[in-house]
Structure 1
Amino acid sequence: MKEQSRRLGEDSIGSLMARLSIPAFIGMFVMGMYNIVDTIFVSYGVGPNGVAALSIAFPVQMILMAMAAMFGIGGASIISRSLGAGEQKTANTVFHQVIWLVIFSSLLIAILTFIFIDPLITMFGAPAEIHQMTKEFLEIILLGAVFQSFGMGMNNIVRSEGNAKTAMLTMIISAVINMILNPIFIMGLDMGVRGSALATLIAQAIGAAWLLFYFLSGKSTLSLKGFGLRIDVKLGLRIIAIGFPSFIMMASGSVVTIAVNWMLQIYGGTMAIAAFGVANRIASFAIMPINGVTQGMQPIVGFNYGSKQFGRVSHSVKLGMLVATILSLIAFAVAEIFPAELARIFSSDPVLIAESEEALRIMLLAAPTIGFQIVCGGLYQALGKARISFIISLMRQIICLVPLLLILPNFFGLSGVWYAFPIADFLAFSVCVVILSTTWRKVFRETEMVR
């Protein structure tokens, strides 16, 4: 076993959390900056319609990321616990299965989307004036579906063996290349949203190549030796069961985006859709550091749970909860104090700025609860408790948010769309508190180590 994996069960929890979370935090920060810079260039180079087109196309990208996350996180959970238990062969087998699952799923999604692209764009709530623009963006993005999925899935695998630095570098390389190419393609070559999509494709391809080189170099605890087309259905279903909550969490983001776009088309039009695109990019950026903390916590929890060091598991969770909550409070404060200033970064259009400001301020009213929710879901995934993690994943997006999006606008118009978000966050947070307080001791009891 490589030193990077052995340290998961030996180093102090604080130093491990810093060593794993800070690179994930930096990587997420850079990726968040890419999303923001991408939207800025599209806003200034194409206009509000371009931002709206990106928002309409987002569900397809979310589905690709959701599928990759399902296989990557599901496989990473098994790999971390296998390495903790000293089962290197099992870890390698899971690694190989994840690669094939990621490749096949991304190709299938890309092909199906190409075939049904026009009705899908209409179903996603695109007004007629941005239908063609959305199609042009998606057609290029789909050509790089395998690269995007491979990068996301394998980054989770890299983190599972305790090598957060390589995962961070992958995200930084992709993001920096994307940010360099965006202004060249969008403005310099006047390619519009197609330029944004092409920059994304190239950056993701280079990121995927970087990860492949890492695994071939021998620096990984995992090995590609013996890699071949061997599909283990039972193992695949196990990977899916553990990673399915992540799929639901991200795929439900697609359902939410479609529901939001439809409500915005009815109550606000294209400008409201563009405002959601801006506010959603800022909100996603605010959440990314919390995801970084969770990703740093998960391999520590998984490894030490597998090696039956349950005191270290408990310590990791408490520290993760604390840091995530602090980050949530910071995000809340910034969004409520400087919403107009944040909106002006994306556009000089006074109407778009005003609508984005209102959307952002209301959507993040319950932001202080978000960190707890994300860490709670990540905890049960790391422990391999698929059913509990699945319930947590469903709560905010599907059970709470979608019904609120369909009901509130009928009474409060456009504001009802924005208020659905904080109400859903508070309800989901309440459920997470109940789940954690009622199941935590049971998790230890199952391993005959009640603390």
Structure 2
Amino acid sequence: TSMAGRQFDNSTVTTVRGIKGMDVLSQHFTKSKLLKYTLPTMAMMLVSSAYGIIDGLFVSNLVGKDALASMTIVLPFIVIVSALGIMMGSGGSAVVGQLLGAGDRKGANRAFSLIAWATFVTGVVCSVLGMAFMDEAVVLLGASAEMAPMAATYGKIVFLCLPMFMITYVFEMFCSVAGKPGFGFLSSLTAGVVNIGLDAVLMGVFGMGIEGAATATCIAEYSSAMLMVVLFARGKVGVLKLVRPRWVQGVLPRSIANGVSEMVGCAAMSVVATAYNLQLMTLFGPDGVAAYAVIEYASMLIGAAFGGLTEGMAPLMSYQHGAGNNHEKRSLFGNGATLTAAMGIGAFLVAQLLAQPLAFAFTGYDGALMALTIHAFRMYSIAFLLMGVTYFGSVMFTAVENGKISALISFVHTFVFELGSIILLPVFFGADSIWWSIIVAEVAASILTIGLVARHAKGYGWR
């Protein structure tokens, strides 16, 4: 029987709360308390995004806009493959969180360890295949003859650390499940500091160019992954410990089913990024791709904030779902929705204020490119007002093990609304309308998400 369908009496919940560290997950969360609890996860995701952005900043200013465009071209391929780690981290955290909610700490550790090792093995296989087909992939992704060698070089080096990236994401997600989200931030901070320091040395001092950026990223991911392995293996991260892997019936299928929506969402965003790049190469040339790179970096930060909030509170929802506590589920859902809406307004205002400084930092050496970037970013950032709605809805369905609806939201949002807008808007309204495609997609996806939540909210105890 699925943990989602089990109910527990008060004595069971009391016993669970008696386990060291479990009281963190079982407590009542006000808006301020929820924000405080999820801040480490938000910081973790923001730092992860930030050091990728700094890669772009170094590449753009030290190597040039063609190198920046080359890196932007290959990134979707990297993200699509690494999305398997996101699937296991997000989906597995729901499974393990419900086991903890039911008081089965031993089973939770076994499930967590199986998920971690399965993710690592998958990463090794994907790494080998990705490097083997990188040259063909960058051409299919739209790289020109001049850009393809740089794009392929960057991709091959980064794929060397793909298993580490995937396993690190799993560990960082499980830090929240273990009641210690601060360790996830420590992991990201470690990778960020290593990456930025090596960027400065390898590109700034030794002039290694795009190879230096990729090498810095690779070493940073290995540093972070090794730190997490040691901490979890020694049982230093809350209630979870990395143990010898053993097969646990149903854990991997449930994790995949729960997390497929997050994988679809991540992979779909990469498909959309590829579509943007192909369209922009046709409409604006390399300048369009370079401008979009800057917008995409900013969007990554906004997405990291939304993702950190929702992924940070997902284990809390999974825990209360496993414990059958509808009162706390209603409170979590309402407070999370309010915080998401407030963050959307804040993101839009900040983006409007920082459009010019951000564009200058990346493209100040080229006046025409800078003007295009400012114009496009100010249009694109309107979508930030609604971007959190689909993040929140999708993750909440994952947290209660309804991966089907979560996947539906992610799939339709990206493959139908956004991809369709990218393709069709420039046909009917001209080249400049491509920057409106994300706005059209977010409006349509928000309507869909709100409708699905309204339909299922009572059944899941959200209202």
> The TM-score by the shorter chain falls in which range?
over 0.9
SS in 2 for 1:441: coil
State the partner residue of 1:193. Answer: 210
Contact 1:79 1:161 (C-alpha < 8 Å) held by counterparts: no
Q: 1:224 aligns with which of 221, 224, 242?
A: 242
Separation in 2, partners of 1:276, 1:140: 23
Instruction: Read off the aligned partner of 1:163 and give its amino acid letter.
Output: K
2:305 maps to what in 1? 289
Structure 2 counterpart of 1:224, one-letter code: L
Tell me which residue corresponds to 1:441.
458
Residue identity matched to 2:318: G
AA aligned to 2:224 is: G
- Please name the residue that 1:269 is paired with: 285
CA deviation digits over 1:200-220, x for unaligned, max 9? 011110100110011122223
Comparing 150-159 with 19-28, greater Cα deviation is found at 19-28
5+ long unaligned stretches in structure 2:
1-15
Amino acid at match of 1:171: S
1:246 to 2:262 alignment: yes
**Is the 2:291–2:373 contact (alpha carbons within 8 Å) kept by the matching residues of 1?**
yes
What is the correspondence of 1:218-367 to structure 2 with a 5 Å cutoff? 218-220=235-237, 221-225=239-243, 227-228=244-245, 230-231=246-247, 234-348=250-364, 349-367=366-384
1:15, CA displacement in angstroms?
A: 6.0
Distance in 2, Cα, partners of 1:341 & 1:15: 31
Identify which range, 161-170 or 100-109, moves more after superposition: 100-109
Quote how far apart the aligned CAs of 1:336 are. Answer: 2.7
Q: How far does residue 419 in structure 1 lie from its aligned partner after superposition? A: 1.3
Q: Is the partner of 2:21 in helix, strand or coil?
A: helix
CA contact (8 A) 2:175 2:182 kept: no
The Cα of 1:130 is off from its aligned counterpart by 0.7
Secondary structure of residue in 2 paired with 1:288:
helix
| Matching of residue 375 in structure 1 with residue 392 in structure 2 | yes
Pick which of 172-181 and 92-101 moved more.
92-101
Would you say the 8 A contact 2:31–2:336 is kept in 1? no
Q: Which moved more, 1:30-39 or 1:301-310?
A: 30-39
Q: Alignment partner of 2:22: what SS?
A: helix
Q: Distance in 2 between matches of 1:197 and 1:187?
A: 14
**1:49 alignment partner, one of 66, 69, 72:** 66
Q: Distance in 1 between matches of 2:294 and 2:247?
A: 42
How far apart in 1 are the matches of 2:430 and 2:148? 25
Measure, in 2, the Cα distance between the counterparts of 1:3 and 1:353. Answer: 54
> Which residue pairs with 2:106 in the alignment?
89
State the match for 1:447 in structure 2: none
Query: What percentage of aligned pairs have identical amino acids?
Result: 25
Q: 3-state DSSP class of the match of 1:218? A: coil
Quick one: distance in 1 between partners of 2:140 and 2:255? 31
Aligned length, in residue pairs:
444
Deviation at 1:355, TM superposition (A): 1.7
Deviations 1:327-379 (A, max 9, x none): 11111112234422221121211122112112211222222111222111111
What secondary structure is seen at the aligned counterpart in 2 of 1:86?
coil
Question: Which residue identity does 2:94 align to in structure 1?
Answer: S
The TM-score normalised by the length of structure 1 is 0.94
Q: Does the residue aligned with 1:126 lie in a helix, a strand or coil?
A: coil
Contact 1:81–1:306 under 8 Å retained in 2: yes
Instruction: Return the offset for 1:11.
Output: 4.5
Q: Which amino acid aligns with 1:419?
A: W
- Report the 3-state secondary structure (helix = DSSP H, G, I; strand = E; otherwise coil) of the residue aligned with 1:443: coil
**Greater shift in the superposed pair: 349-358 or 187-196:** 349-358
Structure-2 separation of matches of 1:398 and 1:198: 33
Residues 409-418 or 141-150, more deviating: 409-418
Equivalent residues in 2 for 1:153-232 (5 A)?
153-220=170-237, 221-225=239-243, 227-228=244-245, 230-231=246-247
Which amino acid is 1:120 matched to? A
Which of residues 98, 110, 113 in structure 1 aligns to 2:127?
110
Q: Which amino acid aligns with 2:170?
A: G
CA contact (8 A) 1:301 1:316 kept: yes
Q: Distance in 1 between matches of 2:186 and 2:116?
A: 20
Q: Distance in 2 between matches of 1:46 and 1:314?
A: 51
TM-aligned CA deviation for residue 231 of structure 1? 4.7
Alignment of 1:69-88 (within 5 A): 69-88=86-105
Counterpart CA distance in 1 for 2:354 and 2:180 is: 36
Distance 2:389 2:418 in 1: 18
The question of whether the paired residues in 2 share the 8 Å contact of 1:51 and 1:278 is answered with no
Looking at structure 1, the residues matched to 295 and 241 of structure 2 have their Cα atoms a distance apart, in angstroms, of 42
Aligned residue number for residue 138 of structure 2: 121
Question: Which amino acid is 1:312 matched to?
Answer: E
The amino acid of 1:315's aligned partner reads S
Take 2:383 and 2:159, find their aligned partners in 1: how far apart are those partners?
35
Read off the aligned partner of 1:385 and give its amino acid letter: N
Counterpart of 1:405 (choices 408, 411, 422) is 422
The runs of 5 or more residues in structure 1 that have no matched partner are 445-449
CA–CA separation in structure 1 for the residues paired with 2:163 and 2:124: 6
Offset of residue 287 of structure 1: 2.2
Give the whole-Å Cα distance in 2 for the aligned partners of 1:20 and 1:177.
Answer: 26
**TM-score, normalized by length of structure 2?**
0.92
* Cα deviation code 1:306-335 (max 9, x no counterpart): 111111111111111111211111111122
CA RMSD of aligned residues (A): 1.7
**8 Å CA contact 2:90, 2:311 repeated in 1:** no
Structure 1: distance between partners of 2:269 and 2:326: 33
Stretch deviating more after TM superposition (345-354 or 426-435): 345-354
How far is the alpha carbon of 1:31 from its aligned partner?
2.4
Q: Distance in 1 between matches of 2:186 and 2:165?
A: 15
Query: What residue number does 1:131 align with?
Result: 148
- Letter of the 1:342 counterpart: L
In structure 1, what is the Cα distance between the partners aligned to 2:29 and 2:420? Answer: 44
Q: Which amino acid aligns with 1:265?
A: M
Q: How far apart are 1:418 and its partner, in Å?
A: 1.3
| Aligned CA distance change for structure 1 residues 200 and 170 (closer, same or farther; 3 Å) | same
**From 133, 151, 163, the counterpart of 1:146:** 163
Distance 1:305 1:3 in 2: 20
What amino acid is the match of 1:329? I
Which stretch has the larger CA shift, 425-434 or 29-38? 29-38
**Distance in 2 of aligned mates of 1:249 and 1:238:** 18
